[in-house]
Amino acid sequence: MTSIQKKALLLHPLGYKSADADKDISRKANIMPPLGLASIAAYLETNGITADIIDCYANPDSDTLIKAYLLEEQPDFIGFSCTSSSFLDGVRILTFAKQILPKVKSVFGGPHVSALKQAILRGYPGIDYVCVGEGEEALRELMLADADRIGEIEGIVHRDDSGEVLFNGYRKHLLDLDALPFPAYEKLAGYPERYSLPIFNYPKTPNTSCISSRGCPYACSYCDRSVFRRSFRYNSADYLYRHLEYLKTRFNIRHINFYDDQFTFNRKRVETLMDRLIAKPLAMTFNCAVRAEHIDYPLLKKMKQAGCWMISLGIETGDPDLLAMHRKNADLRMLEQKIRLIKKAGIRVKGLLMMGLPGESESSIKKSMDYVYSLPVDDFNLAKFTPFPGAPVTRDIETKGQFDYDLEKMDCMHFLFIPRGMTQERLEELFVRFYKKHFLRAKVLWGYFTMVWRSPDSWYRFIMGLPQFLSFARNSSRYGKK
């Protein structure tokens, strides 16, 4: 007797009403493929389980598509990968999914539910399971297990026969990343054209993101490490070269953004990969994010030769005292030196900052402005600090200021936390001023002008999205008049 093949529908919720998608400035600037879901789908498929993906963020009008899939395919499981801001939209989708297929089992994964664990099932009776941590093997075991074995699957939160919510504990043995199949990019509708890196952050199209490691060895106060905790694993240089070669051959990808927290942490791996790319070029360029401690000029020169186009670094704040409160080994002078080395190597630099950290003040914001304006950064991203459930700083966040726990706005685009001594209105004013002063500097303006020939697609996207960008600027300008 042959067993019936299991089937899963994996979903990446939008996080808000689909009618608002065209107003979302972040979607205009960047749509990243859900690489976690693509990896899970590939793993399930190689283990005899059918898995399909619907990415609502890339395809906002997906409700009709989801309903049709449920009726026609009748999957055994429906899985959701959620951030805090998209979690409630996932619950909304699950509600109508259960009406269509009452027996479908649901499992939620991602940083939000990995941080809250049992609280998710206690608060949302329609959710059957939570997957804590990475999902490939846990989901495979869950889909193939008999009901009486659910309590044995590590990484799963479930209800027992009495209704008690139980967490089976973290997985003791994590997967060998080199043994995983490449993510199932082909299951993402419209890939790669429907996805886009941030404007002015790439030279060529088509482009995409790629993850070559999981986790981070550091423990900054503002980072949610609920999925990978303190583990840090990475693909070998050989596996990564083959991955890039596949993306080039299969999808003609011409630029890669490595979506790793610490791309250069293992120097030998990076040097080996760069040597391979130099000896056997793939006609691809790439971006990556690094920590300043793990780069030097010889490595940067090799990265440039291999095709490195831009490097992002976490500056966070230009106030040394505030930075020391939230990150170990805070050294702004060393960071400045490394940024200048990146520029010397001929690589673009993007600074990543936050405003509104606990302890933030007008004085610290001014120090951040002065520091950033003194640096030769080509681009920067200023996020509004958001206290995510799994971040260490969130444990006592109410003692450090006012926190509005509004899940749908936990996207780093809203000031939900107001540090003591500050007001939301003043934070908004200073946020707009920070951006305006940066983008009105002559060097910065010239840098963006040169993108006409360095990244023509970015200018095309900017012009096509100009009405939305201007609307966003007008809505923000009321805070920046003082």
> Residue 185 falls within a domain, yes or no?
no
> Residue 343 falls within a domain, yes or no?
yes
> Residue 58 falls within a domain, yes or no?
yes
Rounded Cα gap, residues 473 and 436, in angstroms: 10
As for how many domains the chain has, the answer is: 2
pLDDT of residue 5: 87
69 & 139 share domain: yes
Report the half-sphere exposure of 457 (CA within 13 A, side-chain side).
15
432 & 322 share domain: yes
> Residue 1 falls within a domain, yes or no?
no
Report the half-sphere exposure of 137 (CA within 13 A, side-chain side).
14
Q: How far is CA 433 from CA 172, 412, 438, in A?
A: 48, 18, 8
44 & 158 share domain: yes
Scanning the structure block, which residue is given the tokens 């905790």?
229
pLDDT of residue 477: 52
Q: Tell me phi and psi for residue 224, to 5 degrees.
A: -90, 115
- Please check whether residue 145 is in contact with residue 48, taking contact to mean a CB–CB distance below 8 angstroms: no
Rounded Cα gap, residues 50 and 55, in angstroms: 17
3-state secondary structure of 354: strand
- Please check whether residue 70 is in contact with residue 59, taking contact to mean a CB–CB distance below 8 angstroms: no
pLDDT of residue 478: 54
Scanning the structure block, which residue is given the tokens 């004013």?
429
3-state secondary structure of 194: coil
204 & 274 share domain: yes
Q: Are strands 232-234 and 213-215 parallel, antiparallel or unpaired?
A: antiparallel
pLDDT of residue 482: 43
> Residue 405 falls within a domain, yes or no?
yes
8-state DSSP, 256:
E
206 & 140 share domain: no
Query: Model confidence over 150-193: pLDDT tens digits?
Result: 999 999 999 999 999 999 999 999 999 999 999 999 999 999 99
207 & 161 share domain: no
The strand pairing partners of 131, in sequence order, are 156
227 & 162 share domain: no
8-state DSSP, 378:
S
pLDDT of residue 473: 58
The total of other beta-carbon atoms located within 10 Å of residue 207's CB is 24
Q: How far is CA 313 from CA 86, 179, 295, 435, in A?
A: 26, 30, 11, 18
Evaluated on CA atoms 482, 479, 360, 336, the torsion sign reads: negative
241 & 149 share domain: no
Q: How far is CA 420 from CA 323, 386, 389, in A?
A: 17, 15, 20
158 & 247 share domain: no
> Residue 186 falls within a domain, yes or no?
no
Structure tokens at 389: 């459930």
> CATH number of the domain that 11 lies in?
3.40.50.280
> Residue 378 falls within a domain, yes or no?
yes
- Please check whether residue 112 is in contact with residue 84, taking contact to mean a CB–CB distance below 8 angstroms: yes
Query: Model confidence over 26-55: pLDDT tens digits?
Result: 887 889 999 999 999 999 999 999 999 999
> Residue 190 falls within a domain, yes or no?
no
> CATH number of the domain that 403 lies in?
3.80.30.20
Query: Model confidence over 88-97: pLDDT tens digits?
Result: 999 999 999 9
- Please check whether residue 121 is in contact with residue 157, taking contact to mean a CB–CB distance below 8 angstroms: yes
55 & 136 share domain: yes
Rounded Cα gap, residues 160 and 164, in angstroms: 6
3-state secondary structure of 212: coil
Rounded Cα gap, residues 206 and 321, in angstroms: 42
Q: What is the mean pLDDT of each run of 10 residues along the chain (482 residues)?
A: 78 90 81 96 97 95 95 97 95 97 96 95 97 95 93 96 95 94 97 94 96 88 82 94 98 97 94 98 97 96 98 95 88 96 97 96 97 94 94 92 94 95 96 91 89 92 76 56 44
- Please check whether residue 377 is in contact with residue 441, taking contact to mean a CB–CB distance below 8 angstroms: no
Domain residues for the domain of 138 are: 7-167
66 & 214 share domain: no
Report the run of H or E that residue 476 belongs to, with start and end. Answer: helix 466-477
3-state secondary structure of 369: helix
90 & 145 share domain: yes
Rounded Cα gap, residues 33 and 190, in angstroms: 10
8-state DSSP, 153:
-
